[in-house]
């Protein structure tokens, strides 16, 4: 029998968005930084990252590919459910997606967000933007965010296999002593401290995912690799502390310490968007080359079939919970399954209190 997904009559893929042509770049960055008083020259500086790739972020194409395989996966499981897609910061915008859903008569949708961890920028801000977009739409459906999935097998297992594949790419003489450098997006220390219902969830969740990947690599190779969690894409004024160390600084320290090689594992990202192709593939690998430190970057989950199936599994799990059933909640590692509805004090907005969807305060 086909899995039951009622009370949901749609799934919404929610993502960040990115420019698709050079003329889009500055307008996109203005959307991202609206209300943050970022100087124009800083936007132009960041814009150069995009211009190096023809002014086009890879994220929208990656979401188109993900959207297509999610639809195929649902259909293959016998689930007849429309799947929509909306972005926070670029076309297709969330308001347009919600308007299309309302026009199609959708009444309640589960939202899969392309961010695996708890933080203001990775969770509440998405829920705020969904609420803001919904306020523009007459007859907007009810929206529920699916739970965080940093510890779901569909996310962890592709990362494990990508790490093993990257290790295999290193020269045999350095492979056994390679250092795993797990990288995620840096955020302000204050935001990290207030993340999750009890605080410090952002780092705790990453550390749990890293520990699980390292253990599974040990089981496959017979060796526990040296490893660290580091950060990329820091922004904002220097006076505001952000999570450190930066990946490039860390590579320098590893080289000084005599590390044989590194595998850069983008544990904080679900696909190869700009922070991966620029901050890691361009900057970090160039740093490693300058240091004469052999380095390979592991793949992100992308459209790995296990990651795609995870979306369906989270949908079915949440639908069962909404029917007052007791679904099994599959996880790996030491951190239990995340909440379905975010507590009101979870991942607070550092500047203002705004309406959200999908939480206890919604």
pLDDT for 43: 85
Q: How many CB atoms lie within 10 A of CB 100?
A: 17
When pLDDT is averaged across residues 268-292 and rounded to a whole number, the result is 97
DSSP 34-102: TTS---HHHHHHHHHHHHTTTT--SHHHHHHHHHHHHHHHHHHTT----EEEEESSSSSBHHHHHHHHH
69 or 44: whose pLDDT is higher?
69
Alpha-carbon distance of 128 to 215, in angstroms, equals 36
Domain coordinates in residue numbering, the chain: 10-149+303-322, 153-297
As a 3-state breakdown, the chain gives helix, strand, coil percent values, each rounded to 5, of: 45, 15, 45
pLDDT for 172: 96
Architecture of domain 10-149+303-322: 3-Layer(aba) Sandwich (3.40)
Alpha-carbon distance of 119 to 117, in angstroms, equals 7
When pLDDT is averaged across residues 96-123 and rounded to a whole number, the result is 98
| CATH number assigned to the domain with residue range 153-297, chosen from the 4 options 3.40.50.1400, 3.40.50.970, 3.40.50.620, 3.40.1190.20 | 3.40.50.1400
pLDDT for 40: 80
Is residue 236 pLDDT above 80, yes or no?
no
Alpha-carbon distance of 119 to 188, in angstroms, equals 10
pLDDT for 63: 98
The pTM of the full predicted model, rounded to 2 decimals, is: 0.97
pLDDT for 34: 85
Closest to 359 (Cα-Cα) out of 147, 195, 107: 147
pLDDT for 327: 95
When pLDDT is averaged across residues 341-350 and rounded to a whole number, the result is 95
Alpha-carbon distance of 122 to 187, in angstroms, equals 10
Residue pLDDT, tens place only, 19-51: 999 999 999 999 998 877 777 888 888 899 999
Residue for token pair 């599959």: 330
Closest to 128 (Cα-Cα) out of 282, 354, 284: 354
When pLDDT is averaged across residues 250-270 and rounded to a whole number, the result is 98
When pLDDT is averaged across residues 161-178 and rounded to a whole number, the result is 98
Residue pLDDT, tens place only, 283-305: 999 999 999 999 999 999 999 99
Q: What mean pLDDT is reported for the chain? A: 96
Residue pLDDT, tens place only, 176-231: 999 999 999 999 999 999 999 999 999 999 999 999 999 999 999 999 999 999 99
When pLDDT is averaged across residues 150-168 and rounded to a whole number, the result is 98
The proportion of the chain whose per-residue pLDDT surpasses 90, expressed as a percent, equals 93
pLDDT for 362: 64
Res. 107 pLDDT band, cuts 50 70 90: very high
pLDDT for 274: 93
């Amino acid at each position: 029998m086909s899995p039951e997904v009622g009370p949901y009559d749609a799934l919404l893929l929610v993502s960040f968005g990115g420019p698709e042509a050079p003329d889009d770049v500055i307008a996109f960055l203005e959307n991202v930084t609206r209300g943050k008083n970022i100087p124009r020259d800083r936007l132009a500086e960041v814009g150069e990252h995009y211009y190096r790739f023809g002014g086009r972020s890879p994220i929208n194409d990656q979401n188109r590919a993900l959207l297509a395989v999610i639809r195929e996966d649902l259909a293959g499981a016998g689930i007849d459910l429309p799947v929509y897609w909306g972005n926070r910061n670029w076309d297709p915008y969330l308001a347009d997606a919600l308007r299309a859903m309302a026009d199609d008569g959708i009444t309640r949708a589960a939202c899969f967000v392309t961010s695996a961890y708890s933080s203001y920028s990775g969770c509440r801000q998405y829920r705020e933007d969904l609420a803001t977009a919904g306020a523009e739409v007459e007859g907007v459906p009810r929206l529920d965010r699916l739970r965080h999935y940093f510890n779901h097998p569909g996310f962890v297992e592709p990362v494990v296999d990508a790490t093993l594949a990257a290790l295999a790419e290193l020269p045999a003489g350095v492979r056994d002593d390679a250092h795993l450098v797990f990288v995620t997006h840096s955020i302000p220390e204050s935001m990290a401290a207030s993340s999750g219902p009890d605080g410090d969830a952002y780092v705790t969740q990453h550390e749990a995912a890293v520990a699980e990947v390292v253990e599974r690599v040990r089981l496959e190779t017979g060796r526990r690799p040296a490893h660290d969690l580091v950060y990329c894409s820091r922004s904002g004024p220097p006076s505001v502390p952000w999570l450190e160390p930066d990946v490039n600084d860390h590579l320098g320290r590893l080289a000084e310490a005599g590390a044989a090689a590194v595998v850069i594992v983008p544990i904080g990202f679900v696909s190869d968007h700009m922070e991966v192709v620029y901050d890691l593939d361009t900057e970090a690998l160039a740093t490693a080359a300058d240091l004469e430190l052999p380095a390979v970057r592991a793949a992100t989950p992308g459209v790995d079939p296990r990651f795609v199936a995870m979306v369906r599994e989270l949908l079915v799990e949440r639908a069962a919970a909404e029917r007052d059933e007791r679904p099994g909640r599959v996880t790996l590692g030491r951190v239990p399954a995340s909440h379905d509805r975010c507590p009101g004090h979870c991942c607070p907005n550092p500047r203002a209190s705004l309406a959200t969807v999908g939480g206890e305060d919604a």
